A and B are shown apart, each in its own frame.
Chain A
């Protein structure tokens, strides 16, 4: 086993241990008295929550884990039986189904009831309804943080002030009440400084895909890389160590001229470099990934890995402006960007990562991502001159993952890319 492999194992192992320990602590909240706060990935205020020694719980992560563990079908069915519409986001139904089936988390241990629902209303309307629904389930306090949308593609002073005021006047008092601790800005600053370090390394890792061959897959592999920073660990020493190790591991792959790791080991020849817009499917994640890796297709950039922060656009948490930086972080998350900004970003990815084209995976659940994607696709195609592909699936509802259909579409798209390359027409 090479040194690189050992280091890779070390980063993966660390992430596994971090997650296991986190869920263990959550399961023991009842005995230890540790507090927990439910919140969302986009606009999560992990550094702030942790400055109150509260443990974050992210319902989207629980839902996607349920999808990967084959539990989501039953959870969704349970929610639909209880009157939830077939038309709405399956994350919500999966979460509600999980709650009603005992609230057992991904490690097989029971999740605690929330001490607080921190509704960071960032980039998704469904979030608002989801926590209204959870409030009915748990009958616990909720605090709402309204994060304005970047409708004009900019963050104005008024938007920043609005978020900071809410943080100061609403969110912090609610956390103080839920945890019984006073706000400690020094601790928050320390957490934010650690976040910035981890963010530097994450961005380095994501941008390593500019190399040819790319040492990473920025979508299928990317979802593992963003795990700690998008979920419960931003601002922790563990996250700093994880991203340092991950970076060293990728540096090593680069030195060795290796491509990304795939479900079947190291990838062979890099035949296609693609950019992906939209979340992945979790219920058939491995099968979905293999449809790419079997064809020698590597995802060099993706927007899903920006839902919890657009660090590659330059944003870093800034400990010298603790509340302002949290406000800017929230407003900068990918689904809080307007469509022209999303198009700009995608076109930029296609160019900067020398991609062969854009693929949109349009998920039925998510209007935040999906509404408007067909226009986005045409715009990016027009601007870059590279062929765009379109597939449809869902996040955690296996009823909407049609492997044969997706495979067919992907194959035709790859063919189109080849034709275009060989000057054989394309579109």
Chain B
């Protein structure tokens, strides 16, 4: 079986009686994927803390950190910035993932209807003062919307540090590498000019160690989810990763340990008859939590995804010895994921996703892109082709971060999960 439809339907178009948020229309389906266990016990407590952090759009924890330490906090947009550099200079990197389901009052006046949602909610957060605790914002080169947002930010918030992070699309150390090294150095100088500590090799090595430790925990959790997805349901893992956008890395690492321990210790997390799927396409604008829950309730175990991808942009550890800036550069050039926002010059498109499907023993792929997302949607036909060549079933839909109705998606995902199970059953 290939193809569950071409995926042109806009997510959330359907209507139903449920309000926006948590579960959306999933209420008719039985709670699944360990959801019953969530909310209770130690893991539930961690998840509740993380959810509160994620939903605190005014960044209370960042404000508290600043009061406590007197340090600078600098925001960054998806997908990747070298957070180690900020950390080494005593700056708190703060990942901004849009405004979710918040009401947009002023942001819409800045964007035409055919532009994705995350920039308008980000502008809204800037204008309503939610981000005023940030001393600056970094805009990585992932698409023209984020690129142009960097210029808008310069105009809207003239007192703040605003940097467009032009990540290289040339992956040769003598060219893209030299350029990226220069960008990193120049970022460090900008931060120092705002009062951060100057960048020093020893501190940067320590920061690399701290982030490696964090990434290792995350890789372990991903591995655990691939093996036993009922133990690490994605609606939990997602918020735990979101917390990592605002917490200092050491705190987040401790929290990951706490969550893992609690999830493993929970006897109520038992396997269900769900279809194993990889969700792809949501690396920038994030789907509402309700959508993730809807997919799980519709009968899917999400065994891999690209949510909150900053944590997983680098696939392995960054080297901890030698020249730390060079190590960050090399990690970017040689060990970052095959992503829709970067030029793929060697592998054929989609091969990495196919490999992820195989590694996670997924039975299908859900293309879940934000409406009007150029990188995801322009990429999709090539990835679909690769997935189809590999004989992997797929379906697709679009969402917006403020999608509040999930009935259409639930039906689509439910049908897809059922058909996968039937197919797998017939094969067995």
B-contacting residues of A (Cβ < 8 Å)?
Answer: 80, 82-89, 92, 119, 121, 124-126, 128-130, 132-133, 136, 142, 144, 146, 148-149, 151-152, 158-159, 161-162, 165-166, 169-170, 338-340, 342-343, 362, 364, 367-368, 370-375, 379, 392
A-B contact pairs, 28 of them (CB 8 A): A80-B8, A82-B381, A83-B6, A87-B398, A88-B374, A89-B378, A125-B144, A125-B341, A125-B374, A132-B379, A132-B382, A158-B179, A161-B179, A162-B176, A166-B170, A169-B172, A339-B151, A339-B152, A342-B151, A368-B147, A371-B115, A371-B119, A371-B145, A372-B149, A372-B151, A374-B111, A374-B112, A379-B155
Q: If A129-B374, A146-B176 touch, does A87 touch B382 (CB 8 Å cutoff)?
A: no
Q: How far is the CB of B187 from chain A (nearest CB, A)?
A: 11
A84 cross-chain contacts in B, Cβ below 8 A: 381
Q: Is the CB of B174 within 8 A of A165?
A: yes
Q: What is the CA–CA distance of A158 and B149 in the complex, to the nearest angstrom?
A: 23
Q: What is the CA–CA distance of A371 and B143 in the complex, to the nearest angstrom?
A: 11
User: How many residues of chain B get a CB closer than 8 Å to chain A's CBs?
Assistant: 61
Q: Render B142-167 as a binary contact track against A, CB cut-off 8 A, 1 for contact.
A: 11110111111011100000011010
Q: Is the CB of B151 within 8 A of A338?
A: yes
Q: Is the CB of A372 within 8 A of B154?
A: no
Segment of B12-20, B192-200, B219-227, B342-350 in the binding face: B342-350
Q: Is the CB of A162 within 8 A of B178?
A: yes
A165 cross-chain contacts in B, Cβ below 8 A: 174-175, 178
Residue B423 lies at the interface, judged by CB distance under 8 Å to chain A:
no
Residue B274 lies at the interface, judged by CB distance under 8 Å to chain A:
no
A85 cross-chain contacts in B, Cβ below 8 A: 8, 369, 377-378, 380
Closest 10 CB pairs of A and B: A339-B151, A151-B164, A129-B378, A146-B169, A85-B377, A372-B148, A367-B144, A371-B148, A162-B179, A338-B151
Q: How far is the CB of A295 from chain B (nearest CB, A)?
A: 25
Chain A: which residue is nearest B385 at the CB level?
A136
Q: Is the CB of B152 within 8 A of A372?
A: yes
Chain A: which residue is nearest B142 at the CB level?
A125
Q: What is the CA–CA distance of A87 and B110 in the complex, to the nearest angstrom?
A: 19
A338 cross-chain contacts in B, Cβ below 8 A: 150-151, 154, 164
B178 cross-chain contacts in A, Cβ below 8 A: 158, 161-162, 165
Contact of B371 among A87, A125, A136, A159 (CB under 8 A): A87
Q: Is the CB of B343 within 8 A of A144?
A: yes
Q: What is the CA–CA distance of A370 and B148 in the complex, to the nearest angstrom?
A: 9
Chain B: which residue is nearest A364 at the CB level?
B114
B119 cross-chain contacts in A, Cβ below 8 A: 371
Contact of A374 among B110, B142, B154, B164 (CB under 8 A): B110
Q: Is the CB of A367 within 8 A of B343?
A: no
Residue pairs across A and B with CB atoms within 8 Å: the count is 164
A124 cross-chain contacts in B, Cβ below 8 A: 144
Q: Render B170-185 as a binary contact track against A, CB cut-off 8 A, 1 for contact.
A: 1010111011001100
Chain A: which residue is nearest B381 at the CB level?
A83
Q: Is the CB of B169 within 8 A of A144?
A: yes
Q: If A340-B151, A367-B115 touch, does A121 touch B374 (CB 8 Å cutoff)?
A: no
B148 cross-chain contacts in A, Cβ below 8 A: 339, 367-368, 371-372
Q: What is the CA–CA distance of A280 and B5 in the complex, to the nearest angstrom?
A: 35
Chain A: which residue is nearest B3 at the CB level?
A83
A148 cross-chain contacts in B, Cβ below 8 A: 166, 179
Q: How far is the CB of B347 from chain A (nearest CB, A)?
A: 12
Contact of B378 among A82, A92, A158, A392 (CB under 8 A): A92
Q: If A339-B154, A343-B155 touch, does A158 touch B182 (CB 8 Å cutoff)?
A: yes
Q: Is the CB of B343 within 8 A of A151?
A: no
Residue B168 lies at the interface, judged by CB distance under 8 Å to chain A:
yes
A374 cross-chain contacts in B, Cβ below 8 A: 109-112
Chain A: which residue is nearest B150 at the CB level?
A151
Q: Render B390-426 as a binary contact track against A, CB cut-off 8 A, 1 for contact.
A: 0000000010000000000000000000000000000
Q: What is the CA–CA distance of A136 and B382 in the complex, to the nearest angstrom?
A: 8
Q: What is the CA–CA distance of A365 and B164 in the complex, to the nearest angstrom?
A: 23
B369 cross-chain contacts in A, Cβ below 8 A: 85
Given contacts A133-B378, A133-B382, A152-B164, 8 further A-B contacts (CB under 8 A): A83-B7, A132-B382, A142-B345, A158-B183, A165-B178, A370-B114, A371-B148, A373-B112
Q: How far is the CB of A3 from chain B (nearest CB, A)?
A: 47
Chain B: which residue is nearest A367 at the CB level?
B144
A149 cross-chain contacts in B, Cβ below 8 A: 141, 147, 164, 166
Chain B: which residue is nearest A121 at the CB level?
B169
Q: If A124-B144, A125-B143, A370-B112 touch, does A89 touch B176 (CB 8 Å cutoff)?
A: no
Q: What is the CA–CA distance of A224 and B176 in the complex, to the nearest angstrom?
A: 37
Q: How far is the CB of A4 from chain B (nearest CB, A)?
A: 42
Q: How far is the CB of B280 from chain A (nearest CB, A)?
A: 14
Q: Is the CB of B155 within 8 A of A340?
A: yes
Chain B: which residue is nearest A343 at the CB level?
B155
Q: Is the CB of B372 within 8 A of A87?
A: yes
Contact of A87 among B155, B340, B377 (CB under 8 A): B377
A133 cross-chain contacts in B, Cβ below 8 A: 378, 381-382
Q: If A83-B384, A126-B378, A151-B166 touch, does A371 touch B175 (CB 8 Å cutoff)?
A: no
Q: What is the CA–CA distance of A364 and B371 in the complex, to the nearest angstrom?
A: 13
Chain B: which residue is nearest A144 at the CB level?
B343
A362 cross-chain contacts in B, Cβ below 8 A: 112
Most A CB contacts (10 A, CB to CB) among B111, B119, B183, B378 go to B378
B136 cross-chain contacts in A, Cβ below 8 A: none
Q: How far is the CB of B9 from chain A (nearest CB, A)?
A: 11
Q: What is the CA–CA distance of A162 and B169 in the complex, to the nearest angstrom?
A: 11
Most B CB contacts (10 A, CB to CB) among A92, A119, A340 go to A340
Residue B375 lies at the interface, judged by CB distance under 8 Å to chain A:
yes
Q: Is the CB of A375 within 8 A of B385?
A: no
Q: How far is the CB of B117 from chain A (nearest CB, A)?
A: 12
Most A CB contacts (10 A, CB to CB) among B139, B156, B380 go to B380
Q: What is the CA–CA distance of A375 and B154 in the complex, to the nearest angstrom?
A: 12
Q: What is the CA–CA distance of A125 and B147 in the complex, to the nearest angstrom?
A: 9
Q: If A146-B169, A151-B166 touch, does A339 touch B155 (CB 8 Å cutoff)?
A: yes
Most B CB contacts (10 A, CB to CB) among A85, A125, A146, A148 go to A85
Q: What is the CA–CA distance of A148 and B349 in the complex, to the nearest angstrom?
A: 24
Q: Which residues 98-142 in B have Cβ within 8 Å of A in the complex?
A: 109-112, 114-115, 119, 139, 141-142
Contact of A88 among B112, B155, B378 (CB under 8 A): B378
B7 cross-chain contacts in A, Cβ below 8 A: 83
Q: What is the CA–CA distance of A87 and B2 in the complex, to the nearest angstrom?
A: 24
Chain B: which residue is nearest A165 at the CB level?
B175
Chain B: which residue is nearest A368 at the CB level?
B144
A342 cross-chain contacts in B, Cβ below 8 A: 151
Chain B: which residue is nearest A82 at the CB level?
B381
Most A CB contacts (10 A, CB to CB) among B111, B141, B148, B341 go to B148
Q: Is the CB of A88 within 8 A of B377?
A: yes
Q: How far is the CB of B78 from chain A (nearest CB, A)?
A: 14
Chain B: which residue is nearest A123 at the CB level?
B144
B344 cross-chain contacts in A, Cβ below 8 A: 132
Chain A: which residue is nearest B109 at the CB level?
A374
Q: What is the CA–CA distance of A225 and B145 in the complex, to the nearest angstrom?
A: 30
